Amino acid sequence: MPAFAKATGGQLILIASIPGIDLTDPAIRAALLEMHHRGELRLARIGNPGAARTNLGARKLRLALVNESVFSDGDAVFHAVVIS
């Protein structure tokens, strides 16, 4: 699972890189959002998707993970899970 450092500390893990997480399944997306709203899971946006793709490319990982990780909740867009 590719991780990116956050400026405020912690790591961002692209959601699509987590084994067993299928973001095409509406029930999985709903469960992730519910956990986020309850404070059990922190979802975050990748501030610079281009830099994330460059980072993935340098590590010989799939660039598509950034786009595959995107999902939204109203106006909020998420790419990653925050690990402290």
Q: Read off the pLDDT of residues 32-47 as tens digits, 9 standing for 90 and up.
A: 999 999 999 999 888 8
Q: What is the pLDDT of residue 49?
A: 87
Q: What does the alpha-carbon distance between residue 46 and residue 24 come to, in Å, rounded to a whole number?
A: 19
Return the higher-pLDDT residue of 1 and 24: 24
State residue 1's pLDDT score. Answer: 55
72 three-class SS: strand
The pLDDT of 3-29, averaged and rounded, is: 83
Q: Give pLDDT, residue 46.
A: 85
For the chain, what is the domain count? 1
Give the pLDDT score at 15.
92
Find how far residue 14's CA is from the centre of its chain. Answer: 3
Residue 25: what pLDDT? 93
* The residue type at 12: L
* Helix, strand, coil shares, percent, the chain, to 5: 35, 25, 45
13-23 average pLDDT score: 90
- The predicted model scores a pTM of 0.82
- Which of 32, 17, 40 is closest to 72 using CA atoms? 32
76-78 and 71-73 as β-strands: parallel, antiparallel, unpaired? antiparallel
Which residues form the domain of 32? 3-83
